[in-house]
Amino acid sequence: MNICEKKCCKVGELLYNKEGFDDISDIVDNCIDELEKCEAFVEMQENCGDINYILPSYCVEIGHLDCLKYISKLPNFMYHSDLAVCAMEHGQIECVKWIIENMKDVHIPEKDDE
């Protein structure tokens, strides 16, 4: 795996490979020192929403399709149904295509959806 300079995949490994925690926020609390060493996590905390879906949203916002592909294979990976919409809003067409082709339960807005 080609690790990006922002360490998106490292954040994914910390968030989605942990067992024995109730939810992502517990993992964050337990691994905060490691997470804060990753530029991606620091930026995510400043700019993104729900911690459970923060990493996939961040990856599509910055166009890190390879990172999204990698983290989507981790055992406890979570994403929200509007991930394709997020990619569309940020002009990440390759991410949109991949999400539609590879992820279940994604919301694809109709022309009249606003």
Q: Residue 77's closest CA among 109, 99, 48?
A: 99
pLDDT digits (tens, 9 = 90+) for 43-73: 887 776 667 778 898 899 999 999 999 999 9
**Mean predicted lDDT score pLDDT of the chain:** 84
State the number of CA atoms in the 13 A half-sphere of 70 facing the CB: 19
- The whole-angstrom separation of Cα 8 and Cα 95 is 15
For the whole model, what pTM was predicted? 0.81
Q: What is the DSSP letter of 93?
A: H
pLDDT digits (tens, 9 = 90+) for 14-45: 888 878 887 888 888 888 898 888 888 888 87
Cα 63–chain centre separation? 11
